[in-house]
Structure 1
Amino acid sequence: MRSLEKIKNQSFALKTMQEWKEKAEASLKGKTVESLQTTTYENIVLKPLYSRQDQQSVPEFPGGSDFRRGVYPLGYRKNEWKAAQRFSYQTPEELQKKLHQSFEKGQSAIAFEVKQILFEADESLKNILADSYYQYPFAINAREFQAAFIEVAGGLDNYKEISGYIAADPIALFTEEGLISEEFFNEWVKNIQRSNEKLPNLRTILIDTVPYHNGGANAVQELGIAIAEGVYYLEKLQETDMELEEVLAKMIFQFSIGSNYFMEIAKLRAARVLWNRITQLYGAKDEVCGMMIAAETSSFTKTVHDPHVNILRAGNEAFAAVIGSVQYLHVSPFDEHTGATPFSERIARNIQLLLKEEAHLKKVIDPAGGSWYVEELTNQLAEKAWGFFQKIEANGGILEVLKSNWLQQEIAVVYQKKNMDIQTRKHSIVGTNVYANLAENVPNKLLLEKRAHFAGEENSLIKMEAIPIRRLAEPFEELRSKAKYLEEKSGNMPAVGMICLGGLKQHKVRLDFMKGFLAAGGIKTIESKPILSIGDARQFVSQLPSMHYCFCGTNDQYEMMGHEILTILKSEFLDRHFYLAGLPETEKQDQWIDEGIKQFIHMKSNCYGTLSTIFNELEVNTIEETKA
């Protein structure tokens, strides 16, 4: 008993930051603690350790002060977030069936993609909804169909009790199509006015940042754009007979949640801080200053290959959304890019149920509140996003920066940085640019239909550059498609021969590296037996029909036998291309190149660029063989 009390009373001695730094640097073997700092795409420098010295002054409870901790004092204990899963459907009958089944399985909001067929079919939208709107709020991005949808909603029984949102964001539609329609916007404003009195509890003004996120924008840009759009709509709608508080009560913001867990939490918290700042400047009443947020897991981060990894990605993103205190959440099915199934939709919905019931997130009020790291990140994001918002306003506002293509160019710069990190594998996508499974049978990607929102309005349209819908994995997925095409055409999977110098211990490390490197593009490796002589190498190359070969071995093996073997192989097989796994010392590189090495492949190589070159040569050879 005494020993137990002794254990309970023990405590660790307090350590200073300097002592921690000295201990850390001792384990870093000559590197400084500062070398562990990383810079994000938002140009925020992340420290390796945050301490009480980084403590920020924050509201004591959610719903207070700047709303960073959420809009409800008791968080999800009194106001749970709504599981707003948008499921796929082909017919109104299928939608009706899925909609009502989903409520029995955990769905808590009416959410689906709105299609033209819903307003044409005999099974009217009113019949599809039945009485579901009595129990559940709407969570609908109605896009170009908002006016038609709201007309249906206004004809429902007890329509004044309808809650949630049936909203649209004209500017987001403009960015997708690359056209600005003043006629569409003016009609949208009138529709907001008409629905204001008839549907008092329904939000109709959407600020949708998803197109910018999918174009490659960073968190600072997403936030700045969201605030700029919100301000634009505030100004335009106040020019009508709507009061400030009426407009704010109709607004809802939509964010896509990416893979950087803490950054996404901070993004949602910073969004509320920024919007509170705007509403205060406008002199709004406190009860309408809190930002309502609908979130969805990112399409930008998902892959076609190894799709089950998308479950982990979506789970991580959904977790961040909930910790960030959203009101509505959609989790994407793991196979959404090749066609969601009932199974994948159930898994997606169950992620939210797990977060509620198993992780108990609905029972904890603001778990991130007071975190030194999260609060510091929130403040930095808010300040940088405010600066970006000011740049937008200085350039004439959100529409003007789109018309001039300034905003598109800003987003493109960030995307190029992200894309380069994917191509060089500085940023890993499991199953795509690392740990690719060549035996995987991948269905074809679904082709996205190009929507023409503003057909027939040519005289009132202003052209601008559209923001493309992108995904990080697409460059490597295109390479895998090329590999599949070449395999179907030639009957053989594209391959590179591995000239393995010395014994297994001597070439295995670089051989394994090359297997992973080439697999990212759908290229298999054909390994030689241990190459111990020029004869072994000559026999391997002569018997293999591949045009590409790579030397694998230690630096010592390269110097002992690599030069001689390369020189002979290059003289005897003039049409073959030779690569070297690893990066020789600078003074030795010219010799290798002169002897015939096409490229050094190492950890910092541009994987996508290297594989693209190989594919170009393979395609040329395939065309020549076909002609012959």
Structure 2
Amino acid sequence: MSDQLFSDFAPMDKNAWAKQAQKELKEKFGSATSWDVGSGLRFNSYATYEDLDAEKVAAMQQCQKKVPGWLNVPELEFSHPLQTNLALKNALENGADAALINLGHNALSQCEFPKLLHGIRLTDTPIYFQTSENPEDLFSHISKNASYYLKGGIAFDPVADWMRYGKSFETRIESVAAVLTRTKNMREFRPVMVETHVYHNNGADPVQELAFTTAATVTYMDHLTDAGISPLGAFNRMLFSVSIGTQYLTEIAKLRAFRFLLRNISRAYALPDELSNPFIQAQTSSFYSSTAAPFTNMIRASSEAMSGTIGGCNALTVSGYVANAASPNDLSGRVARNLSSVLYHESAFGTVADPAAGSYLLEKMSIDLAEQSWSLFLDIEEKGGLVECFERGFIKEELGRSLTQKIQTSQNKGIMVGVNKFTEPGEDTDLLIKNPPQTESPFLSHDKSLSECFKSRPASL
């Protein structure tokens, strides 16, 4: 039987495949068989065993997640302590494993944590709190009536906040170090977030996104170890939060490449591989969401969530299809929460730790993306590190160039339903302003969607 099988399906080399693809795709051959990722990196849509370096593949696979599955972590907007408590309990009773509560700009005293967390055991259920308040103050509030061991953490990135608004990050990192000291036995409580969102939502391509976030990780490692925190304690207690975009295969490779980059960092600090366990939260992108045709966001979120889970995230946060609206509704949140459950239970994505392993194409994409990102990271380090590069304008210039390319691609040939095509009547999707006024602000603009870029983003940040 095996001889017959192989005679029916003889091996095909790349040249034979290209000829067949060109015959079938005709004029679409060029655009369908390769695509630009950015930063000089281009992916082909077909790879063979001969394209791979066995040692590099083994190294990529070795640093991937070893335990199947992920946490379903919906995001909840804080409104009132009792109302948010009811929403939290409802989510946990209907598929959520944890929760991310966005406290917004509310003062910690207004949150009334005993009411907010009534009936929730932080020993059993990880709850992440998103706020720009002092981390040590927040921990004091949430631990006051809790047990000795807490799960969850603080979903706040002081360095990213500094890039957006110019608020000093040094004192906040000192506060993070204080919380790390107070919680040294709470291995599942993560008091600081390292996010890609600030770069992703300002137009970063995947190479930039990974390189800048890797540089941010080193920034935190240096500050926290200088404050007396052990390198292993600092590394394993970070919450790495990654925006997942619409380029399905690229985003899978991005997450796998990120784990490879983090392995390089942990080894640079002489941490044992078997003890270094970065915790990665994948979050569906708000940059590619449509404000004019919100139901298309469900389709985009499905693709993004699949990329996140196949790429090996530890936690998944799916944004609702009207998450960008002024008042997200209950159905939007329910669909988002159920999407993670369907992928886990019905699609069986939660049964394999590294579903992408062994795919020639995804292995090559992961390796190429990691190598290109590492090269840019080293360039940042040679220039003095992330903080120095941001203060000199390097980060902003890089993001501005990438954002302009994204908008021009969307104008010329890239169709996104509800963003630049098939929008609602009266929706303004004017093309990019040719000669925008220049801003003297050194800080990054607030996070926006791509559709908003057509109306308000300048050609350079």
Q: Could you say whether these structures have the same fold, taking a TM-score greater than 0.5 normalized by the shorter chain as the test?
A: yes
Counterpart CA distance in 2 for 1:376 and 1:400 is 32
Taking the TM superposition and a 5 Å limit, the aligned residue runs for 1:457-536 are: 464-475=442-453
Bigger radius of gyration? 1
Is the partner of 1:112 in helix, strand or coil? strand
The 1:293–1:200 alpha-carbon spacing in structure 2 relative to 1, beyond 3 Å, is closer
| Counterpart in the other structure of 2:346 | 358
Q: CA deviation at 1:119?
A: 2.5
- Following superposition, the deviation at residue 346 of structure 1 comes to 0.4
Q: How does 1:213-612 map to 2 (within 5 A)?
A: 213-338=200-325, 339-424=327-412, 426-438=413-425, 464-475=442-453
> Does 1:98 pair with 2:87?
yes
Matched residue SS, 2:450: coil
Q: Distance in 2 between matches of 1:196 and 1:239?
A: 18
Q: 8 Å contact 2:196–2:213 — kept in the other structure? A: yes
Q: CA deviation at 1:21?
A: 3.4
Change (3 A) 1:215 1:475: closer
Distance 1:183 1:263 in 2: 34
Tell me the TM-score normalised to structure 1 length: 0.65
> Which residue is equivalent to 2:126?
137
The offset of 1:152, in angstroms, is: 1.9
2:116 paired with 1:125: no
Helix, strand or coil: the match of 2:133? helix
Asked if structure 2 preserves the Cα contact closer than 8 Å seen for 1:141 and 1:166, the reply is yes
Q: Does the aligned pair in 2 maintain the 1:110–1:138 contact within 8 Å? A: yes
Report the alpha carbon displacement of residue 191 of structure 1 after superposing the two structures with TM.
2.9
Deviation at 1:142, TM superposition (A): 3.6
Counterpart of 1:520?
Answer: none
Please say if residues 369 and 375 of structure 1, whose CA atoms lie closer than 8 Å, have aligned partners that are also in contact: yes
Quote the offset at 1:162 in angstroms.
1.0
| Residue equivalent to 1:502 | none
Residues 154 and 200 (structure 1 numbering): CA distance in 2 closer, same or farther, change over 3 Å? farther
Unaligned runs of 5+ in 1: 443-462, 479-628
Alignment partner of 1:12 out of 9, 14, 32: 9
When the two structures are aligned, how many residues end up with a matched partner? 444
1:406–1:105: structure 2 CA closer, same or farther, 3 Å change rule?
Answer: same
Query: Does structure 2 retain, via aligned residues, the 8 Å contact 1:109–1:137?
Result: yes
SS in 2 for 1:172: helix
**Partner in structure 1 of residue 34 of structure 2:** 37
Determine if contact 1:275/1:290 at 8 Å carries over to the other structure: no
Question: Cα deviations across residues 372-412 of structure 1 (Å, max 9, x unaligned)?
Answer: 11111111111111111112111111111111121011111
Instruction: Look up the match of 2:435.
Output: none
2:125 is aligned with what amino acid? Y
Identity %: 26
Tell me, what secondary structure is at the counterpart of 1:253? strand
Specify the SS of the correspondent of 1:132.
coil
> What is the root-mean-square deviation in Å for CA atoms of aligned residues?
3.1
Letter in 1 for 2:91: S
CA distance in 2, matches of 1:361, 1:52: 25
1:158 and 2:141 equivalent?
no
What CA deviation, in whole Å up to 9, does each residue of 1:426-468 have, x standing for no partner? 111113322334399x9xxxxxxxxxxxxxxxxxxxx832244
Distance (Å, rounded) in 2 between the aligned partners of 1:231 and 1:470: 27
CA-CA distance at 1:24 after TM superposition: 3.8
Q: How far apart, in 2, do the equivalents of 1:264 and 1:21 lie?
A: 25
Task: Please tell me the residue identity of whatever aligns with 2:41.
Answer: I
- Give the superposition deviation at 1:35: 9.0
**Deviation per CA, 1:500-549, whole angstroms, max 9, x where unpaired?**
xxxxxxxxxxxxxxxxxxxxxxxxxxxxxxxxxxxxxxxxxxxxxxxxxx
User: Could you state the TM-score of these two structures normalised by the residue count of structure 2?
Assistant: 0.87
Contact 2:81–2:115 (CA under 8 A) maintained in structure 1: no
Answer 1 or 2: higher relative contact order, Cα 8 Å, separation at least 6: 2
